[in-house]
Structure 1
């Protein structure tokens, strides 16, 4: 069986959100005095940034294009006490409503600080949505990957496969659509996609999961949307590293696989002749037990971020894992895999920002077509050898890079240009030139190793261009 995929797509300039998920939010509200009268001209400041707004004649203000994070917001006006709300959480594609009531000050410099509460009802949300923040991730110390993190939310597949009500991202329908930093991870053209799971959990600022009531901006996503926004560098240096172990054991129900009921009458460990049987082609023992309950695993992930200059910051993250295979498989541990996330942020002007970012991942796996150790085919493949497969292996590489340019034309108007490029490849290795006959033990029950000429090969290149204008 041979499979070849080669696609190249260029998306035209559009003024919609179908190819890009929102990665910023906004704050709006009204500024009034203690009598409820508007205070036009009041200044609203997003602390720690150079962003802010001024209230109009009705006291209304809005601050657009805010990166997802937790902020303090201050409203001030001459003759009135300044009021600061802390713990204001901004989420992608969401609006934080914040109303200020200023009272006249008796002494110059008086200030009121208020701890913000999460609103009971989010008036701008018309669908089922769950948001995972960086604070939530910090508290989830037992969760090792993004897939596991997402699986904890209502409506998600509990096995960490990113499925919502049976729909997934790798089917032809692509019922679940993933966005990473505003770039749509398209995966319904025959190649599997690994990018979203390659993001280290501590590299993420927020994850938005929409499981119902999807709007038209998300195209044909039938089951749900998962929108991941990665972190940016800050004014200070930060570093994080985590090492986790996976304990060995029998991670399945029922007896040991070699003692399963389906092998009754075929496992003859009391028969010396059966135990000492050798493969006529390789000279190796045919019936050998593998103690799959003693495999340890580990995962390592970390990141480094900080300033390069006063106006340029960076973020670098990486992750690798060596997960134990607690079952019958051609490998005792997961194959080598490496994932990296990066982002450069340029504050070119108080109203102009430029961001460059991307992700890279690589991994490989044995081709499973008719010749890897396992418990399929009524357990007949259980004695196939370790560290090899009849059809060789496949190396997967995924690369996504993007450029984002944002220009605030006024307090209430801005535009964003986003250009993204992704390359995904599948490359076969160690593929046999031909397929040999089925080979079994003397009883004619258990399969023995053979060669199978079967592989998947493909390359996908995509260029995405998106222009948003908001006012």
Structure 2
């Protein structure tokens, strides 16, 4: 019996997870003679600090593909011409950076020409509403999460279920990390708890995106994460702490004058009902209707079960005992975001300069009032390994592990959708829900 090698089976299982979202950019341009304007074929174009480059064709054009996003210096060299350098050339995800060069001929010796690249006012290869946010920009913002970075952009706001782009729901937005989709398969809501320490660049498209992206109506968020350095270690850490405090204005939710308790405890109405005339019409509209403890007692006395009979005072005492819980927030909110990376010790150089970058993100946000859980909690760990297989090819392996602890906004009379509660507004909206919420 012929046996199939196990590695073939693993490859077959692995192939469906391949993603085609853009994670790199492109460099292109034309090299000409500074004095005559004629094309220069065979000019060497090198991206300094890397092993990638190209040579110009017969018409002087060159193209360098699969360039990771970031700033680079390009060197143009050819025998008989002075070296030409372009500094601070910015490469962005899915975009072409056009850099033209004019070389000056030399007879015996000459000095190199250094030019600082300028970003074009109009990007000719951009047909969509797009913005690229670099890690340097993120580090200068007073933010804690990816969602907070995104909501600072035009056309994006924070909704009760996630980010809202151009008015569309979160389930109409694609969220990708290194080209892999992080949308929940049940609700299609993005999982956006990515460590800011791992971010190299964020690209946001809010309209006019290409047909290569499916199941999208509102926008696309593509996050490219950092790689570890080949020769040195680097890291970052973010810690934010908010002491325990109420997340609402006004009186306590558990006091006798709260929205929930006043109709049941106010002596003016609790015995005979909120519509007995003791409250004016305006006050009645501020609280829920309650028929009064006298009516509750009558109902228990008149039913066929003698074991539940209660006097009005007894019914009130039972309510006070059942609602004795004090749910004031006693634990802090916090965000921990750490990252560290560099060359893999001992074996890194033998395995194509094998390097790593690991990040951990942990968040806890207390609910405005406790439910079956008292808080939203998220733990996210990511490890990215990179190895240069050849001067023009590298292998990247990324692993993600995440755990989210929260509460579903629906009771078990409805099918779970994968949606969980997080923010204060989401929890507070449960009080106004009339369908399935608990």
TM-score by length of 2: 0.71
Which of 203, 209, 212 is equivalent to 1:217?
A: 212
CA contact (8 A) 2:376 2:405 kept: no
The answer for the alignment partner of 1:409 in structure 2 is: none
CA contact (8 A) 2:373 2:406 kept: no
Deviations 1:240-260 (A, max 9, x none): 111112355454566655656
Deviations 1:171-198 (A, max 9, x none): xxxx2112221123454x525666x423
The answer for the alignment partner of 2:119 in structure 1 is: 118
The answer for the alignment partner of 2:263 in structure 1 is: 265
- Unaligned runs of at least 5 residues, structure 1: 1-9, 382-390, 392-451, 453-471
The answer for the alignment partner of 1:325 in structure 2 is: 367
The structural deviation recorded for 1:377 is 6.8
Distance 2:179 2:218 in 1: 19
Distance 2:144 2:389 in 1: 37
The answer for the alignment partner of 1:238 in structure 2 is: 234
Q: Does 1:97 find its partner at 2:98?
A: yes
Greater relative contact order (Cα 8 A, min sep 6): structure 1 or 2? 1
Q: Does 1:177 find its partner at 2:174?
A: yes
Q: 1:375 to 1:269 in 2, by over 3 A?
A: farther
Which of 376, 385, 396 is equivalent to 1:355?
A: 396
Distance 1:113 1:248 in 2: 56
Deviations 1:397-449 (A, max 9, x none): xxxxxxxxxxxxxxxxxxxxxxxxxxxxxxxxxxxxxxxxxxxxxxxxxxxxx
Q: 1:19 to 1:343 in 2, by over 3 A?
A: closer
Q: 1:52 to 1:286 in 2, by over 3 A?
A: same
The answer for the alignment partner of 1:346 in structure 2 is: 387
* Higher relative strand content: 1
Distance 2:157 2:18 in 1: 25
**2:212 aligns to what SS in structure 1?**
helix
CA contact (8 A) 1:295 1:332 kept: no
Report matched runs for 1:19-418 at 5 Å.
Answer: 19-35=19-35, 36-105=37-106, 108=109, 110-140=111-141, 142-159=142-159, 161-170=162-171, 175-187=172-184, 189-191=185-187, 196-235=191-230, 236-252=232-248, 257=253, 265-266=263-264, 268=266, 277-278=317-318, 284-292=321-329, 295-308=331-344, 309-310=348-349, 311=352, 312-327=354-369, 329-335=371-377, 337-370=378-411
The structure having more radius of gyration, on CA atoms, is 2
Distance 1:168 1:361 in 2: 23
Report how many residues are paired.
Answer: 359
The structural deviation recorded for 1:80 is 2.5
**RMSD after superposition:** 3.7
Deviations 1:146-180 (A, max 9, x none): 1111121111123481221333353xxxx211222
CA contact (8 A) 2:30 2:61 kept: yes
* Higher relative helix content: 2
Distance 1:266 1:83 in 2: 83
Q: 1:261 to 1:359 in 2, by over 3 A?
A: same
**1:212 aligns to what SS in structure 2?**
coil
The answer for the alignment partner of 1:422 in structure 2 is: none
**1:277 aligns to what SS in structure 2?**
helix
Q: 1:66 to 1:377 in 2, by over 3 A?
A: closer
- Unaligned runs of at least 5 residues, structure 2: 1-11, 271-312, 413-420
**1:197 aligns to what SS in structure 2?**
coil
TM-score by length of 1: 0.67
